Amino acid sequence: MARPEKIRLGELLLRQQVITEAQLNDGLAQQKKSGRKLGRVLVESGFVSEDGLSKALARQLDIPFIQLKFFDLKPEVTRLLPEAQARRFRALVLEQSANKVRVGMADPTDLFAYDELTRILKREIELAAVTEGELLATFDRVYRRTGEITGFAKELTAELGDVPVDFGEMLGLTLGQDEAPVVKLLQTVFEEAVRMRASDIHIEPQDGYLRIRFRIDGVLHIQTDADIKIANAVVLRLKLMSGLDISERRLPQDGRFNIKVRNAPIDVRLSTMPTQFGESAVMRLLIQATGLMGMDKLGMSPRILERVRHVIQRPNGMVLVTGPTGSGKTTTLYAALSELNTPERKVITVEDPVEYRLPNINQVQVHEKIELTFDRVLRSALRQDPDVILVGEMRDQVTAEIGMRAAITGHMVLSTLHTNDSVSTPIRLLDMGVPRYMVALSLQLVLAQRLVRVICESCTQPHELSPHEQAWLRTELGDAFDAVKAFRGAGCTHCNGTGYHGRTGLYEMLEMTNEVVEAANQLDVNVFIHAARQQLGPNTLKGDAIRLVREGRTTVDEAMRISNEFAD
């Protein structure tokens, strides 16, 4: 391909009627003030989309426009261009042949970048236009750092050697040294975890080796195995960062610290536990920069979303979100809280721990060691004239009763409870010792939920169901089974070969209508169960999973896996 021509972007977009003359003048004025590229200014001003900009350049240069999220990249090809140069020149190697490479560029008119890429790759270049947003996201995905993690682990092993080491002294000396092997190892682990969208990092000593795993979309993936000799150094370093007792290895400890990964603040919750081969450490990563998820992004069906939004706007009552650990309850509560967080309302949260810092909200961290318990904070919160109270969890009878009294006496109370489904939630409250009348008067709505993996849209394809999958789905759908088209992800670089990318919520909603409340007041619990199931009908957690299968958003296998958690 010939060297690309220099193009005046503004004139090109004007000629192709992508923008107006007024928009161009506005963009040029902003460019003059900020010094940024005109294309970026026009996109951020909303005058043109990234797709529109790239397509206009592709038409002018007569090169293809490629959507990277649908392009199956091969790591060995993309790494022909080192990461530093790829980010510098906003370019990615897409394909190669004997003497040519196809390179996707965010700005295919950048002549300097083209000349440098030709020099580095030493082959003829065929250009393609790609959007900058997709390109940056792809960099984070394809330039994996598993090799670096293994390398730093070996460096730390070599530093420790075979001589007994005073880890406390060594790590105390290296706490502020960025070049220490243990520091570089952990920094790289955190960076790779963020790149791969991991929610948790597991550091687990085994018989003869140390295993590091990431939890991605709810499933654990092995990242690397290292020499067992570095296990103590890694865990002690994490303890120092969390302010924990490094001399105590016999008891579990919990801590917290903050780090920055690529200028994004990460809140890390650390849990250590003594095991047969050493101390295991698990870290939950909370990325503050991602912000809160809106309720319309949670995956609720329109019917449930409308009712939940209506109920939480009431002046009083209790809304409970239920499900096991890791089912997204806190995310749902915070999404609801963000809609209630207005200047006219006073909002107080009682949490353990405070997971996200929210503006204009009074958040209280429970601290059991100094007897700052849920019930104690909740009693004080009621004297602070709140309109909305969020209680992290209904852990015991006392906390539940205080919360329900608050719901009866003019406050909207949001909280969570560990139950299997929505029907069992009022029964669980009664088992905790909460008076029956209090449950009936205060509880407005119960939302049970799970998280289910969604098919990677970059590699989705039709799927022929196995006999077992067919039998399960036919049992659930009956005659409607014949109209279902099943899909799955083939596995690609976008989803790390899993076929899934991201998760969405499954929901079932039990609203405490007059009929359900009347049934809840009956001594026979079976009367309530019958009334609650009558209200739910087919709108159960399993029914919601099947809805996603019919929409082509998840697989039958995933729906079966998640349905086993709440099988009757």
pLDDT tier, 177 (very low <50, low <70, confident <90, very high otherwise): low
Is 180's pLDDT higher than 70?
A: yes
pLDDT tier, 169 (very low <50, low <70, confident <90, very high otherwise): very low
Question: What is the value of pTM for the model shown?
Answer: 0.75
pLDDT tier, 505 (very low <50, low <70, confident <90, very high otherwise): very high
Q: Give me the count of residues in the chain.
A: 568
Query: 48-94 pLDDT, tens per residue?
Result: 888 888 888 888 888 899 998 888 888 788 888 888 888 888 999 99
Contacts (Cβ under 8 Å, ≥6 apart) of 220: 202, 213, 214
114 or 168, greater pLDDT: 114
Q: How far apart are CA 102 and CA 135, in angstroms?
A: 14
422 or 149, greater pLDDT: 422
Q: Is the peptide bond preceding residue 353 cis, with omega within 30 degrees of 0? A: yes
Query: 259-282 pLDDT, tens per residue?
Result: 888 778 888 999 999 999 999 999
DSSP string, 416-455: EE--SSSTHHHHHHHHTT--HHHHHHHEEEEEEEEEEEEE
Minimum mean pLDDT among 26-30, 113-117, 436-440, 526-530: which range?
Answer: 26-30
Q: Give the pLDDT score at 378.
A: 87
| Dihedral angle, C-alpha 377, 379, 380, 383, nearest 10 ° | 150
Minimum mean pLDDT among 315-324, 369-378, 405-414, 462-471: which range?
Answer: 369-378
Contacts (Cβ under 8 Å, ≥6 apart) of 226: 150, 153, 154, 157, 209, 210, 212
| Topology (CATH) of 295-566 | Rossmann fold (3.40.50)
Q: How far apart are CA 107 and CA 61, in angstroms?
A: 11
Q: Which helix (H) or strand (E) holds 261?
A: strand 253-261
> DSSP secondary-structure letter at 367?
B
Domain locations in the chain as residue ranges: 9-141, 146-289, 295-566
Nearest to 233 by CA among 172, 146, 149: 172
Where does residue 456 rank: exposed (0-12), middle (13-18), buried (19+ CB within 10 A)? Answer: buried
Is 170's pLDDT higher than 50?
A: no
523 or 511, greater pLDDT: 511
Share of the chain above pLDDT 90, in %: 33
Q: What is the CATH number of domain 146-289?
A: 3.30.450.90
pLDDT tier, 508 (very low <50, low <70, confident <90, very high otherwise): very high
Q: Give the pLDDT score at 147.
A: 60
Question: Which tokens go with 200?
Answer: 């948790």
Q: How far apart are CA 513 and CA 445, in angstroms?
A: 9
Is 166's pLDDT higher than 50?
A: no
Tell me the mean pLDDT in the region 502-507.
92
Tell me the mean pLDDT in the region 408-435.
91
Query: 339-365 pLDDT, tens per residue?
Result: 999 999 999 999 887 777 788 889 898
Tell me the mean pLDDT in the region 191-200.
88
Q: How far apart are CA 59 and CA 39, in angstroms?
A: 16
Is 526's pLDDT higher than 60?
A: yes
Given a contact cutoff of 8 angstroms between Cβ atoms, the answer to whether 182 and 174 are in contact is yes
pLDDT tier, 5 (very low <50, low <70, confident <90, very high otherwise): low
Is 321's pLDDT higher than 90?
A: yes
Q: How far apart are CA 79 and CA 91, in angstroms?
A: 11
Query: 541-555 pLDDT, tens per residue?
Result: 999 999 999 999 999
Tell me the mean pLDDT in the region 203-231.
89
Q: How far apart are CA 60 and CA 514, in angstroms?
A: 66
pLDDT tier, 188 (very low <50, low <70, confident <90, very high otherwise): confident
Query: 146-164 pLDDT, tens per residue?
Result: 666 666 677 777 766 654 4
Mean per-residue pLDDT of the chain = 86
Q: Give the pLDDT score at 28.
A: 83
Question: Which tokens go with 425?
Answer: 């939630």
Given a contact cutoff of 8 angstroms between Cβ atoms, the answer to whether 212 and 193 are in contact is no
pLDDT tier, 556 (very low <50, low <70, confident <90, very high otherwise): very high
Is 217's pLDDT higher than 80?
A: yes
- Kind of pairing, strands 347-351 and 388-391? parallel
Contacts (Cβ under 8 Å, ≥6 apart) of 179: none
Q: Give the pLDDT score at 270.
A: 94
Q: How would you write 63-130 as a 3-class SS string?
A: CCECCHHHCCCCHHHHCCCCHHHHHHHCEEEEEECCCEEEEEECCCCCHHHHHHHHHHHCCEEEEEEC
Selecting from 3.40.190.10, 3.30.300.160, 3.40.50.1370, 3.30.70.2860, what CATH number does the domain 9-141 have? Answer: 3.30.300.160
Residue matched to tokens 């909370």: 286
Q: Which helix (H) or strand (E) holds 216?
A: strand 209-216
Is 566's pLDDT higher than 70?
A: no
Given a contact cutoff of 8 angstroms between Cβ atoms, the answer to whether 235 and 198 are in contact is no
Q: At what angle do helices 302-312 and 329-340 cross, to 10 degrees?
A: 60
Q: Give the pLDDT score at 160.
A: 64
Given a contact cutoff of 8 angstroms between Cβ atoms, the answer to whether 155 and 184 are in contact is yes
Tell me the mean pLDDT in the region 152-180.
56
Q: How far apart are CA 189 and CA 254, in angstroms?
A: 20
Q: Give the pLDDT score at 360.
A: 86
pLDDT tier, 10 (very low <50, low <70, confident <90, very high otherwise): confident
Highest mean pLDDT among 51-65, 158-172, 300-314, 508-522: 300-314
